[in-house]
Structure formats: C-alpha cells, structure tokens
C-alpha cells in the first residue's frame, strides 16, 4: 500500500469544458472527446491538432495514428505552422509551442500577455511570431519574448507578404485593411469606386483570402469571387462571367443550391491553376428514418461529399474524381449548449470545415466531435477517419482497444460510435444490413396501376425510438439493442449486431418495454429480461419477462419464456445452483408507488422466486453493476451512496463502503487488481479476486 501507483486511465471529457481542478501527478490522463482545429504537414508526417492540447500524428498518410498531448487539458491548440521545418504553435490559453524536430519534442512557452487574452490564431514571419487575439495582435520573437501589440477590432485576419490583412468595423465602410508585420502602421484598402460600384454596397467584408500567384490574391468580397494584385490597387471578377457565384445576381441561389446538391462556395482552395470547392450531394443509396414527430413518412436525408472544379471551357463547376459515400448513422446534434436542426453530424461537419491541402493530393478536413475526413489521392477515395457524438458515453471496452459508446441522452438520437484503436479514432455505425424498400407505382394514362417496383435505399432506424432501454455486446462482437415505446406502427425497435456495432440489422418487436437487463449466454442462446408498465384502474404494475434468442440470430425475434409481476429486473446472473439471481426494484407491498431494491433467486425463469435480500431504503437508485468475475458482482447506489459486493458462491451480500458525509455518485473502477471509487481514490487491494 505504500507504493506510488501510476495508472493509465481514460477520462471522458465533454465538448463544453467547465473549469476543472484535479491532481494528475499519479495519472496519465487521456481525453477521448476532442474538437480538432486544423492540420499541418512536416517531414512526411500529417499532424492534426485541437482541444485538450491533443495531437494526432500519422507517418503513413492517415492509415494509422498516434495520439499525444501537450499541456494536457489546459487549452486548445488553435494553430500549428510549419516554417522552414520548424513547427510553431499557439494554445488558446496564451502559450506558444515550438518543435525543432518535426513534432517529436515540444517547448511550451509562457509568454507575456498583459490583457490575459485568448489566443485565436498564429502567423509566422522571418522575424517574429504574431498572435491573433480577442482585441488585436501581439508580436513575439521566436523565443517568445514580447515585442509589441496593437488593439484593433477585426472580424477576420490572414497573413501574406508580411501583411496582416484584416476585415473589421474600422474599414468596412469603404473596404478592408492591412497592418504591417511589425504592427507599426495600419493601411486602409479603399475598394469603393474601384469594384462592385454597380451594386452600391453599404459595406465591404471579405470572408476568405488566399494567394494564388506571386502577384495575385483571390478573395470572396461580399461573397463575390474577386482577384486583386498584391498591392491592392486593382480589383476584378475572378470568373469570366461576373454572374457566376455572384450573390448580387438573381441566378445565384440556383447556381449554389438545387434539388439534390449544394455547392459550398466558402470552402474553396486553388491548386495548379484550378479553383476547387466542396459540394454536397443527396445520397442515392442511404437514408435515415426521421423521428415520428418530424415528418415520419419521409426518411431523413444523408449527404455525400465531392470536390468540384471550375471548368474554364464550360464556365461551370464540374464534379472532380469520386464521391465520399456517406453511409454512417449520424443524426442531429442536440446538446445543452447547442441545437442543430435538420443536419446530420457529418453534414454539419462537412459544410463548415476547411480543406487542408498537402503534397497536391492529400486533402484533410477536421472539426468538432472528433471529426476527421481525408483523401490521399485528390478525391479518388475518401475516408471518414473519426466522428464521435458529444453526448455519447462509454458502455463497453474489449481487449483494451475496442470501445463502444452509446448516446441515449438525446431523444430519437441513439448513436453508437466505436473505436478499434483504443480511443484514438471513433467511427459511427454504418447503415447497410437493414433495407427499406420504398414502393413506386407505375400507372397508365387513366392512373390505373399497372406495375410496382422498389428502390433499394439502405435505412437506419435508431432515430425512431425515443431512447435506448437495452444495449448489450459481448466479447465476440455480437449484441442486442432495444428501443422504447414506438409511436408509429412502422418503427423498428429491436436490432442486433455481429461486429461490435459496425452494422445492425433491425426488426419490429413492438412490445412497449421501458427497461432491459444485461444479457447472459447459456449455451447457444442469450437470456435477458425486459420490463414494462401495465396500467390498471387504481394503480400501475410492472411486468417483467424472460426472453431468449440464439447467439447466431437465426431467429428473427426473441422468444418469450415467462412473465411475472411486481418486479423490475436490472441485472441477471446464473446461480451456482440451477436458476438465476435477479437484482432489481420490487413494488412495496403496502405502497404501490414505492420501490425497494431486492435480490431474488428463481429456479424457473421467474415462475417461482425467493427473496434473498431487501434493502429497506425506499427508491434507492442503483447506478452501476460491475461483474468482476463469474462469482463477484459489485454494485453501487446513490441514496445513500454505498458500494456492495454479492458473492455468488455463498449468496452473501456485503456492504463494503458507504459515504460518511456529503453526496456523490459512486462509480467503481478496477485497474491491476486495485479497486478505486472514481473521485475517492484507492479503497481496496484484493488479489484473491
């Protein structure tokens, strides 16, 4: 007990991070939920950077990744810049990063920041590092020594030719401006009278600016694709026909978006004298079934992604290479701090993330929600590397490398995301095993039906169940999912997987259950229980049913074995004798609205039962069952906070720990035969179990 224990623990951190304070002296903290900010290429390595000081590093063009952290949990790396094979970076909490050996080792510099501002971006010149902040810019030497600063309100800033080009309220009446590299002078770029005068704009704002030739910039000025020289004296339309992608033209929206596709004109890049943009196209193969209350007869749309290039011959944007076929179940994102309606998680990400282009062929898009998307051959093949719903929480860990996360926090958003590399990347469930065939009727001139044919669109059904009430996967990758009460007769509320949630096959079960237990394997079958309310005239009652299904899922649906009343089963384990031990809530005999926690033995799937233990604390809430092995089941309760051990060999229940004062939600974690209560520390070393 006197040894200093060093642990590696996976800590699940959400996308909105409150101020947290904890000691990490004895722990290696590995955050799993990362918002990625950008990408950089150096010495044949692709490095992606983001929140929690996280880096993903790949030396095989994104096939495999290594994760590491700089200044862990203290801020977001907002920019990394490769300048003459030295990496310079900025962290949001006001620190500078430097690596002189291609990202192997890092210096973290605590630099002077008198106004204690957040760092938003970083520019690198021959002589200095320039940080974009909330109120202006701060200039440092490349050793992190303060050189000077300037306060100037601005919307956007880019750095080319030793000029910080800015759009902001000080300039937008007549154009935009730039600041000299040494922050000593401010120049106004007057566009009025030179460009767009026929539209008489009230203000001028550029969204983005890139350098396309040594003497030319390309920018979107008030949404119009514009070229100008590097002296900002001459402005002109980029396209030969000024009506192309011109928001002032009446045909603009018809060019940008029509039924089935949308050009993302703000996500442009220039490569080998060609302008590229991103394009979303409506999937012709995959659908997401909408929740019952939201156009339930119209399956939800999924969008594919493709690059488009501007053809100088046809004067149109044409498809370039191949589509990314979006086959992933990623429904709308709804969190406490944000609500995104009408867009799937992948659609939201693809519409808002820039292209990072390396080696003329590697194109990377990164964003929030662990999202990484790339091609290594200029769009011939695309790959979703990672995506994780912000409300997903861990449910299963297998072999220290396969993590299965479930989101049952949001209504009708039962995401399942999995990692096969120990939490470095996550991939959502693929749509594919389940097929929704939509009928199309052919009629004659008098509208009499003469034939019917069906499309073969693949459809995901997780979104038709309000919440998940049973979710189970075993170490072979096979598992069950049940959704709660369906609101439409067509909803599918039962599914199984054979590949650790990569794909699911959905069926109609429709038994209106609200809670399920774990599942146990008995020979060729899984056994589990489901519970539901039955409403009577004077009170409600709980009915619990035993079900089985074969482990190969050759049966289309589970088989009902027996039903009994007055008990909601939460957990089931085989008894040392024949029969089963049940752990759950029993309706109080005197007060039907009160529930007591009971442990019961049944030799015959619930037909007869023996109460082994009853905990006389009304409405106790069990928050965790932890089966350490076949004979030892730990479980924790919240009112009052306690930890129990049930010994299957003797059917003995032991109270191991209870809180002395205060409140908590005790969770058990076992690492290397040491038992920890999360947030409470080591409480037991037990090598016998």
Cα distance from N-terminal residue to C-terminal residue, the chain? 17
Asked if 98 contacts 83 with a C-beta cutoff of 8 angstroms, the reply is no
| Cα gap 342→380, rounded to integer Å | 29
pLDDT in tens, 122-174: 999 999 999 999 999 999 999 999 999 999 999 999 999 999 999 999 999 99
pLDDT of residue 339: 47
pLDDT of residue 41: 97
pLDDT in tens, 500-538: 999 998 888 766 677 889 999 999 999 999 988 765 545
Asked if 419 contacts 402 with a C-beta cutoff of 8 angstroms, the reply is yes
574 pLDDT exceeds 60?
yes
- Per-position b or e across 94-116, b if 16+ CB within 10 A of its CB: bbbbbbeebbeebeebebebeee
Query: What are φ and ψ of residue 486, in 5° steps?
Result: -80, 145
| Cα gap 180→159, rounded to integer Å | 10
Task: Kindly tell me the burial class for residue 226, based on how many C-beta atoms sit within 10 Å of its own C-beta (0-12, 13-18, 19 or more).
Answer: buried
Residue 673 confidence class, pLDDT cut points 50, 70, 90: low
Render 126-141 in DSSP notation, one character per residue.
SS-EEEEESSEEEEE-
pLDDT of residue 74: 79
More confident residue, 294 or 278: 278
pTM for this predicted structure: 0.86
Of the candidate ranges 3-12, 181-190, 661-670, the one whose mean pLDDT is the lowest: 3-12
pLDDT in tens, 78-131: 999 999 999 999 999 999 999 999 999 999 999 999 889 999 999 999 999 999
Which phi-psi region, left, alpha or beta, contains residue 53 (left: φ > 0; alpha: ψ -120 to 50)? left
In the 3-class helix/strand/coil scheme, how is 52-85 assigned residue by residue? HHEEEEECCCCCCCEEEECCCCCCCEEEEEEECC
How distant, in Å, are the alpha carbons of 51, 165, 179, 218 from that of 168? 27, 10, 12, 19
689 pLDDT exceeds 50?
no
429 pLDDT exceeds 70?
yes
| Cα gap 546→148, rounded to integer Å | 73
pLDDT in tens, 32-51: 889 999 999 999 999 999 99
pLDDT of residue 392: 84
pLDDT of residue 373: 96
pLDDT in tens, 231-276: 999 999 999 999 999 999 999 999 999 888 899 999 999 999 999 9
Which SS3 state, helix, strand or coil, does residue 40 take? strand
| Cα gap 380→494, rounded to integer Å | 37
pLDDT in tens, 222-231: 999 999 999 9
Q: How far is CA 150 from the centre of its chain?
A: 37
320 pLDDT exceeds 70?
yes
Mean pLDDT value across residues 193-198: 94
Per DSSP, which regions of 463-565 are E strands? Answer: 468-473, 479-483, 494-497, 505-507, 515-522, 525-535, 540-550, 559-565
Asked if 142 contacts 126 with a C-beta cutoff of 8 angstroms, the reply is no
Residue 292 confidence class, pLDDT cut points 50, 70, 90: low
Asked if 631 contacts 655 with a C-beta cutoff of 8 angstroms, the reply is no
| Cα gap 580→568, rounded to integer Å | 15
């Amino acid at each position: 007990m006197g040894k200093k224990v060093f642990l590696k623990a996976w800590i699940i951190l959400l996308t909105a991070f409150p101020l947290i304070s904890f000691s990490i002296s004895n722990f290696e903290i590995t955050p799993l939920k990362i918002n990625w900010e950008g990408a950089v290429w150096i010495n044949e390595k692709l490095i992606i950077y983001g929140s929690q000081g996280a880096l993903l590093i790949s030396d095989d063009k994104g096939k495999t990744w290594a994760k590491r952290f700089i200044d862990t949990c203290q801020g977001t790396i907002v920019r990394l810049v490769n300048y003459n094979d030295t990496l310079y970076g900025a962290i949001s909490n006001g620190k500078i990063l430097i690596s002189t050996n291609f990202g192997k080792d890092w210096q973290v510099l605590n630099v002077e920041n008198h106004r204690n501002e957040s760092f938003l971006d970083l520019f690198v010149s021959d002589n200095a590092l320039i940080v974009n902040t909330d109120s202006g810019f701060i200039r440092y030497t490349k050793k992190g020594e303060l050189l000077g600063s300037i306060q100037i309100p601005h919307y956007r800033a880019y750095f080319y030719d030793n000029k910080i080009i800015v759009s902001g309220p000080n300039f937008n009446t007549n154009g935009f401006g730039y600041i000299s590299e040494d922050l000593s002078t401010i120049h106004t770029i007057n566009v009025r009278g030179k460009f767009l005068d026929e539209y008489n704009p009230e203000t001028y704002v550029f969204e983005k600016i890139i350098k396309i030739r040594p003497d030319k910039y390309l920018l979107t000025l008030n949404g119009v694709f514009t070229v100008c020289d590097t002296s900002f004296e001459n402005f002109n339309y980029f396209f030969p026909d000024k009506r192309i992608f011109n928001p002032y033209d009446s045909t603009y929206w018809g060019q940008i978006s029509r039924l089935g596709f949308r050009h993302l004109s703000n996500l442009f890049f220039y490569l080998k004298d060609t302008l590229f943009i991103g394009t979303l196209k409506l999937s012709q193969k995959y659908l997401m079934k909408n929740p019952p209350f939201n156009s339930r007869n119209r399956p939800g749309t999924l969008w594919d992604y493709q690059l488009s290039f501007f053809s100088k011959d046809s004067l149109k944007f044409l498809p370039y290479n191949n589509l990314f076929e979006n086959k992933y179940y990623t429904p709308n994102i709804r969190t406490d701090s944000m609500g995104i309606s009408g867009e799937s998680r992948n659609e939201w990400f693809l519409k808002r993330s820039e292209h990072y282009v390396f080696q003329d062929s590697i194109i990377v898009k990164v964003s929030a929600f662990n999202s990484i998307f790339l091609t290594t051959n200029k769009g011939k093949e695309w790959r979703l590397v990672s995506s994780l719903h912000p409300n997903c929480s861990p449910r299963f860990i297998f072999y220290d490398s396969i993590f299965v996360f479930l989101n049952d926090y949001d209504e009708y958003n039962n995401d399942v995301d999995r990692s096969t590399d120990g939490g470095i990347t996550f991939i959502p469930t693929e749509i594919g095993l389940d097929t929704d065939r939509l009928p199309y009727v052919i009629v004659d001139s008098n509208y009499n039906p003469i034939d019917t044919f069906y499309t073969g669109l693949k459809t995901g059904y997780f979104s038709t169940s309000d919440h998940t009430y049973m979710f189970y996967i075993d170490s072979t990758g096979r598992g069950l999912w049940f959704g709660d009460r369906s609101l439409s007769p067509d909803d599918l509320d039962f599914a199984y997987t054979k590949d650790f949630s990569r794909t699911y096959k959905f069926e109609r079960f429709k038994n209106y259950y609200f809670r399920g237990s774990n599942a146990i394997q008995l020979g060729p079958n899984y056994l589990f229980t489901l519970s539901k309310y039955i409403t009577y005239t004077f009170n409600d009652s709980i009915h619990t049913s035993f079900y089985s299904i074969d482990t190969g899922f050759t049966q289309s649906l589970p088989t009902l074995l027996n039903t009994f009343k007055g008990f909601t089963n939460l957990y089931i384990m085989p008894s040392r004798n024949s029969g089963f031990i049940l752990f759950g809530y029993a309706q109080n005999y005197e007060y039907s609205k009160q529930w007591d926690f009971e442990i019961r033995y049944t030799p015959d799937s619930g037909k007869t039962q023996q109460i082994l233990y009853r905990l006389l604390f009304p409405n106790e809430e069990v928050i965790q069952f932890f089966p350490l092995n076949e004979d030892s089941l730990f479980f924790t309760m919240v009112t009052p906070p306690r930890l129990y051990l049930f010994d299957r060999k003797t059917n003995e229940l032991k109270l191991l720990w209870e809180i002395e004062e205060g409140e908590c939600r005790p969770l058990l974690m076992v690492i290397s035969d040491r038992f920890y209560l999360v947030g409470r520390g080591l409480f037991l070393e037990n090598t016998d179990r």
